[in-house]
Structure 1
Amino acid sequence: MSKSEVMDKYLDAYEGKISGSVICEAVDSAFGIDLDKAPILKDNAIEGSTSASGKLSSREVIDLYLQQSGEKQTGPVIRQLINKIFGVNLEGISALEGAKISLYSKDQWIVHHEKDLFVVHTGIGDIDVKIYPTTYFIEQTGSAALPEDLQQLLLKLGYTYNEEIGSYYYSNPTGEAVPDSFKGKTMQAIGKVVTESFATL
């Protein structure tokens, strides 16, 4: 069962009204992601809204969106909502299962397994991304560098090698979060190299 399916099962089994708290618990249970720690993207719909503490919590922001939305709160609809509020693409994360790619984002490990080969590490606000091999990859191959074919694919996408951090690095020139389409192309490039060259590792 995929993580998205686990989340759907959790929500289907819940008998009360779906709230921000229920959604946060469902995401934590299925994905191990703490949305309470995830920064909220700027949005006009929530900008002017404050709580007693002066700032809305993640759960309160989700509640606000749920109130504004007339849609039936299904798993796929809620996952789109999470992506809109936090920039956390749960469908994409679910698809990474078994891909041998670790993902660090929103100040926490989103996907992380002992035998993953490469790390995709996004910075604050997802404005920049760095990619580097895992300790497991280095131990298995004896190389601390990304494979040549992956380097070429990343260069084509606009990454450059940053010697200071020892990683391939990309920063969005607009100063905004890297779009999902770019993240998708990055994951496809890494996935292609894993499948073609390192499927047995």
Structure 2
Amino acid sequence: MTIDYDAASGSQTERMDRWLIAASEHKLNADNIIRLIKLVFRIDVGGLPFSPSGESAREIIRNYMDLCRSESVPLSGAGLRATLNLALGVNLDALSALEGSRISIYSKNQWMIRQETDLFIVHTGAQDIDVRIYPTPFFWMSYTGDSLPDEYMTDMLLLGYDFDEDSSSHFYRNPTGGPVDDAFKGRTIQILRRALAGVFSRL
């Protein structure tokens, strides 16, 4: 199936939604959606680890599409993204909001966002139970200080991160042994964005 894809304007979620509207008269399947997400977000959801209930992304998408058909409602980009986030822990809306932020995200064994001129990497471990934040090589090519600024260091330590001097990285592990929740990840991103707009704004 060939449907024109307009990548010229709008956020990633807006581009995804436009495509779904344009494709609404066609008989879509889960593979079409997986290819769309890879085209828009550069994420291979088909290669993600299975959900806690043992479902693949393909099965989750297919079940959501079947539900929409059974209830005679149009396929919703927002609903699809919410379903993937709930089942697989992949928040496409949050990733779209980070487009152009100069923050790289590595999660679930693949890059979710990455640009050569990004300044920080958010790296989550297996099952998302830990997260490490560290400056990129491009950061160190541009930053002239001997150490990271006190303001940034304080914000990260107050949030609960430990600092590893050898790698200049901050590390957090969920004490419950479960996945780091979206709220904590959100506060981490807020600190990084504030630092990028402030103490690192000249990089």
TM-score, length basis structure 2: 0.84
Q: How many residues get paired?
A: 190
Contact preservation (8 Å) 1:11, 1:26? no
Q: How big is each residue's C-alpha offset from its partner over 1:47-98, in whole Å with a ceiling of 9 and x where there is no partner?
A: 5xxxxxxxx5421232124334646421111111111121111111011112
In 2 relative to 1, CA 117–189 (structure 1 residues): closer, same or farther, beyond 3 Å? Answer: same
Contact preservation (8 Å) 2:60, 2:84? no
Give the secondary-structure state (helix, strand or coil) at the position aligned to 2:46: coil
Partner of 1:152: 154
Partner of 2:5: none
Contact preservation (8 Å) 1:101, 1:120? yes
Within 5 Å, give how 1:63-142 maps onto structure 2: 63-68=62-67, 70=71, 72-142=74-144
Moved more, 92-101 or 142-151: 142-151
CA RMSD of aligned residues (A): 2.0
Q: Distance in 2 between matches of 1:82 and 1:104?
A: 17
In structure 2, the gaps of 5 or more residues are 1-9
Q: Distance in 2 between matches of 1:4 and 1:189?
A: 24
Partner of 1:30: 40
Give the secondary-structure state (helix, strand or coil) at the position aligned to 1:103: strand
Partner of 1:10: 19
Matching residue's letter, 1:16: H
Partner of 1:167: 169
Matching residue's letter, 1:25: R
In 2 relative to 1, CA 138–61 (structure 1 residues): closer, same or farther, beyond 3 Å? Answer: same
How far did 1:99 drift? 1.3
In structure 1, the gaps of 5 or more residues are 48-55
TM-score, length basis structure 1: 0.85
Partner of 1:50: none
Q: How big is each residue's C-alpha offset from its partner over 1:129-178, in whole Å with a ceiling of 9 and x where there is no partner?
A: 00000111101114575433222111111111135655210111222221
% same residue: 40
Matching residue's letter, 1:87: G
Q: Distance in 2 between matches of 1:4 and 1:163?
A: 38
Contact preservation (8 Å) 2:135, 2:168? no
Give the secondary-structure state (helix, strand or coil) at the position aligned to 1:99: coil
Q: Distance in 1 between matches of 2:177 and 2:132?
A: 16
